[in-house]
Structure 1
Amino acid sequence: MGVGLPRRWASLWRHHPSALLLAAQLLSLVLYPLMDDTHSGRVLYGAVALVVVPLAVWVVSRSPSLNWIAWLLALPALALSVLAIVLDLPWLITTASMLESALYFYAAGSLISYMLHDHSVTADELFAAGATFTLLAWGFAYAFFACQAWYPGSFAGAVDPERPRSWIELLFLSMSTLSSVGNGDIVPLGSQARVLVMFEQMAGVGYIATVVSRLIGLTIVRHERAAGD
């Protein structure tokens, strides 16, 4: 029994890589509040990136997309993250954030293509729907982070409005915007930041209208066919 459980978990990850990516993203939400401006916080930040970015590449490799493009984005992002921690160079973190943003958008697009090309709803597609949402949210959050570094004062908040927004605040803004919740304690002020937020608003509406609604429709059709048989 002790040997069978690891095998079942291994089988789950092998057949449902989207579930592993989704679990890693959600786990990182628990870890992010532990990160701060200290050296230990930056090390933890880098450790999360070292886990999540390869998982994003793994998900892409299971889709019809070209895997080499994902690695072309992932490897420099990982290298720059490590160098930024070791050498304490914030501008490297900004550059790495741009590459990670591109990687997450690429992985999200690959998962969307995977879900749209299938005509039946499987468990992996349901996990992929959740993983795609997190990939989009992380991708825009990294874009916000780079925007803030390039254009100081792009974002303001209810607490200490003059200071740069932390990573968790930008991720919170991204989640709120993508899900159309619209919590307003973090707001874009600069033109560049507002354009990014508008792009994310359109992405959130489009994702629900095309991908989520399609999965719901296919699920309803499957249940109706099963009831008819």
Structure 2
Amino acid sequence: MVEQRNASQHWRIRARRHPSAFLLAAQLLSLLIYPLFDDLTAGRVVFGAFGVLVLALAVWVVNRSPAINWIAWALAAPAFVLSLLSVAIESEPLLVASSALEALLYFYAAGSLIAYMMSDHRVTTDELFAAGATFTLLAWGFAYAFLVCQAWYPGSFTGAVEPERPRAWLELLFLSFTNLSAVGLGDVIPLGSTARVLVMLEQFAGVGYVAVVVSRLIGLTMLRVPPRSRG
């Protein structure tokens, strides 16, 4: 009993110290789970459940940053309700509405984490986790933006496999990751003007994030290391 209480207290301390790590872990875990349920009827329910979990974690991380909390809750609460309803009644308009709100929440959470990382000249372990979590938040945010774009402007995206059909969620997330990381794999291609503008904005965000935020964290980390340790 004492060991269980100590273990529980240990994880609570870790959660308070490194909230960004839990958000990053949830995002990466969902990447592993998506392919397992992608072709199943229950897949949409699983995706919805993980979306709710990530929404909760995103709001939790925003609460630990200098951002205004009520904005995060104003985006998360309706997104949470619409996401559950879209899964329960299989409504495409509700799914699009929840996706739009989730995109805004992920962008807001990413901006809050960037402000958190840029707020001082000291690099903590949680800020290093935040660097990874911010990348995934941006990737998810743009993927949801692509999904909304595809719903509003049919034919916005095409792909190497069945080019005429709308792109699946995992395909749009894959496009977002390859675009944000500048890998540039071309099996999913934007065709519409709005889709191409979104892709260009993500490319700009990816380059700017690496040039400003990541390079700053690396520089501050190197300054913290004694000269003998570097040599």
Taking structure 1 as the reference length, what is the TM-score of the superposition? 0.95
Can you list the C-alpha shifts for 1:183-222, whole angstroms capped at 9, x where unaligned?
1111111111000000000000000000000000001100
Report the counterpart of residue 31 of structure 2 in structure 1.
29
Q: Percent identical across equivalent pairs?
A: 64
CA drift of 1:87 comes to 1.7
CA drift of 1:117 comes to 0.8
Report the counterpart of residue 169 of structure 1 in structure 2.
171
CA drift of 1:224 comes to 3.3
Segments of 5+ residues of structure 2 without an aligned counterpart are none
Report the counterpart of residue 125 of structure 1 in structure 2.
127
Tell me the distance in 2 between the aligned counterparts of 1:99 and 1:108: 14
Report the counterpart of residue 157 of structure 1 in structure 2.
159
Amino acid paired to 1:109? G
Tell me the distance in 2 between the aligned counterparts of 1:227 and 1:164: 53
The alignment status of 1:93 with 2:95, answered yes or no, reads: yes
Classify the secondary structure of the residue corresponding to 1:120.
coil
CA drift of 1:167 comes to 0.6
Report the counterpart of residue 224 of structure 1 in structure 2.
226
Tell me the distance in 2 between the aligned counterparts of 1:197 and 1:31: 26
Report the counterpart of residue 137 of structure 1 in structure 2.
139
Report the counterpart of residue 191 of structure 2 in structure 1.
189
Tell me the distance in 2 between the aligned counterparts of 1:226 and 1:59: 36
Can you list the C-alpha shifts for 1:6-53, whole angstroms capped at 9, x where unaligned?
332221111110000000000110111133475411111111111110
Tell me the distance in 1 between the aligned counterparts of 2:210 and 2:129: 15
- Of 65, 69, 87, 2:71 maps to 69
Tell me the distance in 1 between the aligned counterparts of 2:228 and 2:11: 29
Can you list the C-alpha shifts for 1:138-197, whole angstroms capped at 9, x where unaligned?
000000000001111111111111111111100000000000010111111111100000
Amino acid paired to 1:28? S
Tell me the distance in 1 between the aligned counterparts of 2:191 and 2:64: 39
CA drift of 1:91 comes to 0.9
Classify the secondary structure of the residue corresponding to 2:189.
strand
Amino acid paired to 1:14? R
* Aligned residue pair count: 228
Classify the secondary structure of the residue corresponding to 1:159.
coil
Amino acid paired to 2:120? D
Segments of 5+ residues of structure 1 without an aligned counterpart are none
The alignment status of 1:84 with 2:96, answered yes or no, reads: no
Amino acid paired to 2:87? I
CA RMSD of aligned residues (A): 1.6
Taking structure 2 as the reference length, what is the TM-score of the superposition? 0.94
Tell me the distance in 2 between the aligned counterparts of 1:140 and 1:37: 23
Report the counterpart of residue 53 of structure 1 in structure 2.
55
